Amino acid sequence: MATDEMSDIRARILNDIAGKTAAEDLALSALSQPQRIPVMVDIMGFAKGTAKFACAKALLLLSESRPEAVYPYFDAIAKLLGSDNNIIKWDAALMTANLAPVDGENKFENVYNAYFALLDSDSMITAGNAVKYAWKIVMKYPAWESGITGRILQAAGRGFLYKGEPSPECGYIFAAGALDCFGRYFDISGSREQILDFARELVDCPRKSTAKKAELFLSAHG
């Protein structure tokens, strides 16, 4: 795409954002004008101000509903897993996982470590965004299931910090998200006993919603 054309598209996107165009409408515009997508990815990664977040929200919607439209820009999005901006990092994690089902070129293999390193974060939100759609990665690459399950269980056992202090509550919230993820691929898992043990430990969780989720999980899979 010529530089002048990119500049024109960028200006139109920024004008739409300034006019409070909803993320859903930005996404629809990108579907009808696919040349907008790489420009939106660039804005997400490098623009200053709120425009980057507007593009990230629209791209996230696209990655969920039409991943094949966003997949050509997999590499650029995956690079944002290392962003200094937490919100962009979190959105990049969700998008990267959303693109796994259409990863015909096996690009995820090159970013596996960068993606799952997010589970090593002391931040529950960072790790939680990595685990939310990890099941899509497992379904695409079932041979990775044991390693992915192990990393999720390791993260749950390690715990998280809140304002620099250990936070059991953050751990309980993460555990609930892990159960949601495990439930999506439990039937194909080779780690079923480890997952069931994890769920059993959560039945007496002080966070009632997590304990209830564990009970329901065991009812469905135990």
Closest alpha carbon to 217 in 173, 184, 174: 184
Q: Is the pLDDT of residue 5 over 90?
A: no
Q: What is the mean pLDDT of residues 17-45?
A: 96
Which residues touch 128 (CB under 8 Å, ≥6 apart)? 173, 174, 177
* Mean pLDDT, residues 176-195: 98
Average pLDDT over residues 150-156: 97
pLDDT of residue 1: 63
Q: What is the pLDDT of residues 39-64, one digit of tens each?
A: 999 999 999 889 999 999 999 999 99
DSSP, res 104: T
The whole-number pLDDT of residue 6 equals: 84
- DSSP for 5-45, please give it: HHHHHHHHHHHHHHTT--HHHHHHHHHHSTTHHHHHHHHHH
CA distances from 172 to 201, 202, 211 (A): 11, 8, 9
pLDDT for res 162: 94
Q: Is 22 left (phi over 0), alpha (psi -120 to 50) or beta?
A: beta
Residue 174 has pLDDT above 80, yes or no: yes
Band of pLDDT at residue 82, cut at 50, 70 and 90? very high
Does 26 have pLDDT greater than 70?
Answer: yes
- Nearest 10 degrees: CA dihedral of 60, 79, 162, 204? 60
Maximum CA pair distance of the chain? 61
Confidence of residue 65 (pLDDT cuts 50, 70, 90): very high
